[in-house]
Structure 1
Amino acid sequence: MAAKPRIKDVAERAGVSAATVSFVLNDVEGARVAPETRDRIRAAAKELGYRPNTVARGLRTQRTQMIGFISDEIATTPFAGQMIQGAHDAAHKAGYLLLMINTGQSADEQHLAAQALVQRQIDGAIVATMYHQMVEVPTELASTPRVVLDAKPQNDAVSYVVPDEAGGATAVMGELIAAGHHRIGHVTERNEPIAKGLRLQAYRESLRKNALPEDPALIEEDEANAHGGYRAVLRLLDSADPPTAVFCYNDRMAMGAYRAAAERGLKIPEDLSVAGYDNQQLISDALSPGLTTAALPHYHMGVWAVETLLATLSSTKPIEPQAHLMPCPLVRRHSIAPPRR
């Protein structure tokens, strides 16, 4: 087997000292090396297939260049996977490796995961959840820089990022009202996640701010899936004074709204405008016509979590915890039109 290339080999190929190679490949701050020399060293390292010894670097810098990522079930559901992608891209850009453990919503697994990551001397940790909720940060991470992603920490004063649920709902309602709708139904889920209350509150406030009547008969609850949306919208359409538009708690309920409208002989958006929330792949852009919805900013939240964690790691002073609301942009498609009546 061919011997691994050494730093000495790179130095000989580039025509510089081994110390200069070490300065460049380890990104030593303050090292005065000309740009053309840096390029020559990196080219020589690439040609030889040289890789710096990360263990030796860790001993010298007291950093492993690794970030732990503990999730409940993000990795097993495609819906929120963009959070992982965003975190990975931000970590990779900064030269960090993301170590991910999926706990399956088990508290015991979460503690074991945190313990395993700490034992591997991670530089920092991200605790992430599939949807906006309250979360307990594992106590094993108490001495590790940490950030909470898509949740609010229940037992820890640390930075966290969550979607601006109310802002996205306000944008959706603004689109429906601007199209001329005065009777707007809202179908929401039966349980009580944080997102439900914030989106419902924004629905009601949008009606008030636009001097539109609040009719309790226009709000229906059911399961937060296509079947629940179908049943809830059917009840609205069969009421004495049905709405001309429906704002759905999520895109899955909106998918059920399309089915309900079709069964009642209504065309979307000519006879009934429909809007959703989440911008869930394989639903919002696959429906016909395409669904106007508010997008959950999963990718950008993942990036923010890593960048905030890295800022903490690089700071020489304590950083005050941040609570960040990530905007949920409106995605316009073709499911909204002016009402016929």
Structure 2
Amino acid sequence: MVTMKEIANKAGVSVSTVSLVLNGRDEGRVKSKIADNVRAIATKLGYQSNPLASSLRTGRTHILGFISEEVATTPYAGGMILGAQTAASQFGYMLITVSTDGENSESEEIAALKRYGTDGFLYAKMSNRITHVPSSLAKTPLVLVDATDSLGKIPSVEPDEFQIGYDATTRLVKAGCARIAYVGCLEPLIAQDDRLEGYQAALRDAGLDYDDHLVVNVLNNGPALTAVSDLFDAEHPDGFFCFNDARAWYVYECAARRGLTVGKDISVVGVDNHRVFAETLEPMLTTVELPHFEMGYWAVAKLVSIIEGRSMDDVSWPATTAPLPPIDAPIPAKIHCTLIEKTSVK
């Protein structure tokens, strides 16, 4: 293993000078020409820093903990964790991910991560919701992912649910739909309330009246299919904005039973860009993609900015489907999701 002493001998400087340069503390203390030479020699010799030694000097382990409630078992977990992992690697951190299934499990996992000296935590939920943060995380650097704390004080990131409803409905308006239905969710979720508000606002801005007879909120399976079927027969919508891609399937099924062609006789927009539905339904479903990669990436960037006290103005952001909000965005930071055009809108 190459040591700082070897680099110092090659560069003709002291070990302390090499330490300052390789630990990024040379500005204003070491001449730039000397610092550049030290870095060049370190690269040529294949120098690698010692994480343990670094943690002893700085008091940081460069370990981040990702605490999730069932996130790791959902179809969207891969994108969120990939985004967080990508950012962690870029900023020189290691990410440890744990999935919990209750308060006792959660407490044990948090305690275990703290024993590793974790510098900060990401706390993620399965779907966008108001959450109470465990007291054991109260005094640690923390960012919430796809969740907002009940007091609105902890940095967090989530999809712009209102804009999802607005953009999806506006797309149907632009397709010439005049009777646009909303197939919503019966569960009390932030996403449900905000997407419904976005739907109503888009209708209003288009000069269309809101009609609650065109709104049906469902859970799943037989009762959901029956409710959507009744909506078809009673209200004859020509456009459907669906809470998610799974609910769009009921619309496709009801259309087929009536000899209607999606993308021709009626138009449908979903939410999720869920591969099972969005890529296998025929015609392929136009849908709003939820920003799982973006939320994971932004959350880590925000967490590192808190830990290191840096602005992130010098960060080179990755190319993403949805634009990332500024690192100092108001709480909660909202990501404007992207509508993915396919063939279900006429």
* TM-score category, normalised to shorter length: 0.7 to 0.9
Secondary structure class of the residue paired with 1:144: coil
1:257 shift after superposition: 1.8
1:259 shift after superposition: 2.0
Residues 164 and 326 in structure 1, CA contact (< 8 A), matched pair in contact too: yes
1:67-216 pair list within 5 angstroms: 67-104=64-101, 106-154=102-150, 157-216=153-212
The amino acid across from 1:275 in the alignment is V
The amino acid across from 1:307 in the alignment is A
Residues 127 and 148 in structure 1, CA contact (< 8 A), matched pair in contact too: yes
Task: Find the counterpart in structure 2 of residue 333 from structure 1.
Answer: 342
Task: Find the counterpart in structure 2 of residue 40 from structure 1.
Answer: 41
- In 1, the alpha carbon distance for the partners of 2:284 and 2:222 equals 19
1:216 shift after superposition: 2.2
Q: State the Cα deviation string for residues 151-207 of structure 1 (Å, max 9, x = none).
A: 011267211111100101100111101111110111112211111111112212222
Task: Find the counterpart in structure 2 of residue 231 from structure 1.
Answer: 226
- In 2, the alpha carbon distance for the partners of 1:309 and 1:153 equals 16
Q: State the Cα deviation string for residues 248-276 of structure 1 (Å, max 9, x = none).
A: 11011112322221122111111111110
Distance 1:107 1:200, change over 3 A: same
Mark the runs of 5 or more structure 2 residues left unpaired by the alignment: 312-327
Deviates more, 1:13-22 or 1:113-122: 13-22
The amino acid across from 1:133 in the alignment is R
Match of 2:301 among 298, 307, 311: 307
- In 1, the alpha carbon distance for the partners of 2:90 and 2:238 equals 48
1:83 shift after superposition: 1.4
State TM-score, norm by structure 2. Answer: 0.86
Residues 7 and 41 in structure 2, CA contact (< 8 A), matched pair in contact too: no
- In 2, the alpha carbon distance for the partners of 1:275 and 1:326 equals 19
Secondary structure class of the residue paired with 1:282: helix
1:10 shift after superposition: 5.7
Secondary structure class of the residue paired with 1:253: helix
Task: Find the counterpart in structure 1 of residue 275 from structure 2.
Answer: 281
Task: Find the counterpart in structure 2 of residue 219 from structure 1.
Answer: 215
1:51 shift after superposition: 3.5
Residues 157 and 321 in structure 1, CA contact (< 8 A), matched pair in contact too: no
Q: State the Cα deviation string for residues 106-154 of structure 1 (Å, max 9, x = none).
A: 1221222222222221111111112101112111122211111110112
Identity across aligned pairs (percent)? Answer: 37
- In 2, the alpha carbon distance for the partners of 1:28 and 1:312 equals 19
- In 2, the alpha carbon distance for the partners of 1:303 and 1:185 equals 34
1:86 shift after superposition: 0.9
Residues 14 and 41 in structure 1, CA contact (< 8 A), matched pair in contact too: no
- In 1, the alpha carbon distance for the partners of 2:59 and 2:73 equals 33
State TM-score, norm by structure 1. Answer: 0.87
Distance 1:25 1:229, change over 3 A: farther
The amino acid across from 2:89 in the alignment is H
Distance 1:262 1:184, change over 3 A: same
Task: Find the counterpart in structure 1 of residue 248 from structure 2.
Answer: 254
- In 2, the alpha carbon distance for the partners of 1:17 and 1:289 equals 69
Task: Find the counterpart in structure 1 of residue 53 from structure 2.
Answer: 56
Secondary structure class of the residue paired with 2:76: helix
Residues 83 and 297 in structure 2, CA contact (< 8 A), matched pair in contact too: yes
Secondary structure class of the residue paired with 2:287: strand
